[in-house]
Every structure is written in structure tokens, then in C-alpha cells.
Amino acid sequence: MATDSDKLRAWKDTSDLLCLDLRPLDEHQAKRLRSSTCIPWKDLSLRCAELPAKSVPFAVLIPFSNHPALTWLPEHGWDCTWVFDASQPPFWEAAEMYGLVCRGPDEGPPALLFRPCPFLAAQLPLIQAAKNGTSLSCLDIGCGSGRDTAYLLTRGWHVDAIDSLPNAVERTLQLATHMRVHAKLEAWQVKIMANGAWHEQKNMREGIPKEERFAPGVPMDVYFSGKQYDLVLTIRFLVKTLLPDLPRLVKPGGYLLISHFVEDGSEYRQPRKEHRVQLNELSSLYGAQKDLEVVIDVIEKIEDGRPVNSVLIRKKTKI
């Protein structure tokens, strides 16, 4: 049977050091594993969006032996490769020996169990370095589960997050609130029409009157009243009529980041071909504009093997 020292050494040697701490927050802050994320057991069922992808192994720090999480997590599909019992002194002795113990409130960005879009994570240092530490703003169009929004919030960004689905907006707000980074977040429901018009749906779950539901919407420039962002983000969300307009939402010196499924000859069902971008479509569209620079244009594959075209576009400060 593996000892705590064996399990800690194996966990330490993994690249991500993901650990879910199920103890109350005060116990976590008093003494914890380095890079661990605290989600108290009583909150776990409401905060599943913060857990890793189900294909990703991680460690679990339980408050006591035979904890119900050891059944609940595998039953729901998560891979808890390493289990540590916080009630056992030998565990903490081994953790101290490996230099894995921290004490006191978390400093800096909170540790995340989930991962944002890999292309966003890879390009964010370049984007932030170019903006040189100023207060940064982002518009996340099609925020979905809110993970990319939450990731930016943990890095100090102000984020406006929008989605056409009320569930997506609610999940984004809940995720940011649970992670205690919601102070710099605005999230709301808006539908982008096929013609590129914007139609805000303010009533969310309360029901939308028919005349409002089928209103034509307003042009993007009218909707945003000239507001611009340091980063405009749209990941796996596509309204093709909107693509030519997006740079107008970007500040000079700012960036447009798009990552969407691409028609590259691969065989996959969703999204349908008419809802994919074509090879070189994005780079050709934006590369033809004098005030834009195509910084990066790559074809990548997501976790399930489907291809995406990811581009980073910079809006020039001078033409």
C-alpha cells in the first residue's frame, strides 16, 4: 500500500499540481497544500464548474477518513488519482518534508482546478505585456460556462461577459461569485441576430414579452455607444456577419482573440459545416485591414480531437 510520502511524491511530479481541498475555508487558509483549491464539501455540488475536465487526474484532500466525496466524485466521473487525509498527522509531516505546505491567506491569483482555453492562456502574457500593467478590460462574447471570464478575473481584468442563454449568464455569475472575483464582472444576456444586430434580453427567466423577443435589435455601434476594450474574446461562438465588425470594439493597441471550429477536411459532426470557419477565412478577413495585424494564426485540436482555428489580431495604434 502506498504511503503518504509515496503519493505526495507522485502528485508533486505531475506538471499541474491540481488538488481539491474539501475542508472549510478557515482550515484551508490555516494550513494547506501548495496550489490547492478550496471548495468546501457542502458547496461542491453547486461548484462543479470549477473542477477539472473529467479526463484530468487530480488530488483530493479530505477532512476525515472514509469521506463521502470518495464515492461521490468517481460516481460523477472525476478521476481522483491521489487521496490525502487531512486528519492524519503523518500526511502533514510528509507534505512539510517535500516543501508543499503553505499557511495564511492566499496571495496572488487563486489556484484554479479548471483550465481556460489553451490559446487564451498561451497568449495572455503577450497581451498583458503589451498593455504594460494598465487596468485591462475584456468583452467575452459567448461566455458559456464562464471559465475564460473567471480566468481573466483572477488575473485582475475587468470583464463584460455576454451570452444568449440565461443559463450561461447565471453560471458565469455563480462561478465568479464562488471564486470571490465577481467585483470586476458585468454579465448579461444578449442575442446577436443573424444580421449582426444586438438584442438585449433583460428579463432573463422571468419571461420575455413576444414583441420584445422578436424585436429587430440595434447595430453594434449603437448598442455599445462607442465603448472599446483591450481584449475582445470569442471562443467557439460564431455569427459570421459579426466578424467584420468586431475590430471596432477593440481599443488601439488592443487585441481580438478568436478560436472556433474550422472546416479543414476532418470528419466530425458538430458544429455543422455551415457553422465552422473556413481555412484562412479569419486571417484573410483581418489581414486585409490596414489597421490590423495578424499576430498568430494556428490550427489546433481541442480535447476531443476536433480542429479549431485560433487567431490573435492586434489593432495598430497608428496606421
Please check whether residues 171 and 303 belong to one and the same domain.
Answer: yes
Query: Among 43, 77, 103, where does a domain finish?
Result: 103
Query: Among 103, 127, 144, where does a domain finish?
Result: 103
Q: Tell me, yes or no, whether 210 lies in a domain.
A: yes
Q: Any residues with CB less than 8 A from the CB of 63 and at least 6 apart, and which?
A: 22, 23, 24, 27, 41, 86, 87
Residues of the chain with pLDDT under 70: 15, 133, 202-216, 319
Burial of 272 (0-12, 13-18, 19+ CB in 10 A): exposed
Cell of 104: 495564511
Q: Tell me, yes or no, whether 217 lies in a domain.
A: yes
Please check whether residues 214 and 284 belong to one and the same domain.
Answer: yes
| Separation between Cα atoms, residue 63 and residue 163, nearest integer Å | 38
Q: Which residues of 125-134 are buried (b: 16+ CB within 10 A; e: fewer)?
A: eebbeebeee
Asked whether the beta carbons of 144 and 163 are under 8 A apart, the reply is yes
Please check whether residues 21 and 58 belong to one and the same domain.
Answer: yes
pLDDT tens-place string over residues 8-64: 999 998 868 899 999 999 999 999 999 899 999 999 998 998 999 888 999 999 999
- HEC string of 57-108 equals CEEEEECCCCCCHHHHHHHCCCCEEEEEECCCHHHHHHHHHCCCEECCCCCC
Please check whether residues 157 and 93 belong to one and the same domain.
Answer: no
Q: Tell me, yes or no, whether 177 lies in a domain.
A: yes
The pLDDT, as a whole number, for residue 209 is: 52
Please check whether residues 56 and 88 belong to one and the same domain.
Answer: yes
Domain that holds residue 166: 118-315
Please check whether residues 272 and 183 belong to one and the same domain.
Answer: yes
Please check whether residues 132 and 95 belong to one and the same domain.
Answer: no
Query: Among 79, 103, 127, where does a domain finish?
Result: 103
Q: In this structure, what CATH number is given to the domain that contains residue 70?
A: 3.40.250.10
CA angle in degrees (0–180, nearest 5) for 102-108-110: 75
Please check whether residues 27 and 146 belong to one and the same domain.
Answer: no
The pLDDT, as a whole number, for residue 118 is: 94
Q: Tell me, yes or no, whether 112 lies in a domain.
A: no
Please check whether residues 244 and 275 belong to one and the same domain.
Answer: yes
The pLDDT, as a whole number, for residue 282 is: 97
Please check whether residues 122 and 234 belong to one and the same domain.
Answer: yes
Chain-centre distance for alpha carbon 221: 27
pLDDT tens-place string over residues 211-232: 555 466 899 999 999 999 999 9
